Amino acid sequence: MTELAGLGIAAFLSATLLPGSSEALLVSLLLLGEESPAWLLAFATFGNVLGSLFNWYMGAFFMSFQHKKWFPISLQKIDKAQVWFSKYGIWSLLFAWAPIIGDPLTLIAGMMRISLIPFILLVTIGKFARYALITGIALVWI
C-alpha cells in the first residue's frame, strides 16, 4: 500500500510545475510485481489529475493578483497565453500529460476559469491514456 501512496504522491508532484517523473516509478513498481497493475494505473492517474487540478486552482487564484507590481507574469504574456488557449480550445486539455506544455496548459485553464467538469474529464482521459500505454508496454516486457 505504501507503494501506491508513493506513486500517487509522485504523480501529483509530476503534474505540478515541479520537475518529476512518475512514469519511471510506475514502470519500476510494475516490474517489482507486488501491486496490481490496475491499482498502479489508478493511483498514477488519480495523483496526476489531482496535480493538474492544483495547477487549475493556482491559475485561478493567482489571477486575482495580476495587477500587482510583483506579479511574475506580464499582462502581455497572460493575453498571449489566453489567445493561444482560445485558438486551440478546451480540447487541448487532452494533452495535459505532455512534457513542457502540459503543466502550463492546466495553469492557463485555471487562469481562464475553464469549467471544472470538462477540465477534469479531458485531463483524466489524456493522463489515463498515457499511463495505460506505459503500463501496457511495461507488462509486455515483463
pLDDT in tens, 21-55: 889 899 999 999 899 999 999 999 999 999 999 99
For residue 10, pLDDT beyond 80 = yes
Q: Say what the pLDDT of residue 1 is.
A: 64
Amino acid at 137: I
Please report, for the chain, the start and end positions of each structural domain, with discontinuous segments joined by +: 2-141
Q: How many CB atoms lie within 10 A of CB 78?
A: 16
> If DSSP codes are grouped into helix, strand and coil, which group holds residue 96?
coil
CA distance 3 to 131: 16
pLDDT grade, residue 16 (50/70/90)?
Answer: confident
> Length of the chain in residues, anyone?
142
Are the CB atoms for 79 and 87 separated by under 8 Å? no
Q: Say what the pLDDT of residue 90 is.
A: 92
**pLDDT > 70 fraction of the chain, expressed in percent and rounded:** 97
For residue 70, pLDDT beyond 90 = no
* Helix residue spans in 35-115 (DSSP H): 37-62, 75-88, 102-111
CA distance 29 to 46: 16
Are the CB atoms for 51 and 129 separated by under 8 Å? no
CA distance 112 to 60: 7
**pLDDT > 90 fraction of the chain, expressed in percent and rounded:** 49
Q: Which residue has the higher pLDDT, 73 or 131?
A: 131
For residue 17, pLDDT beyond 70 = no
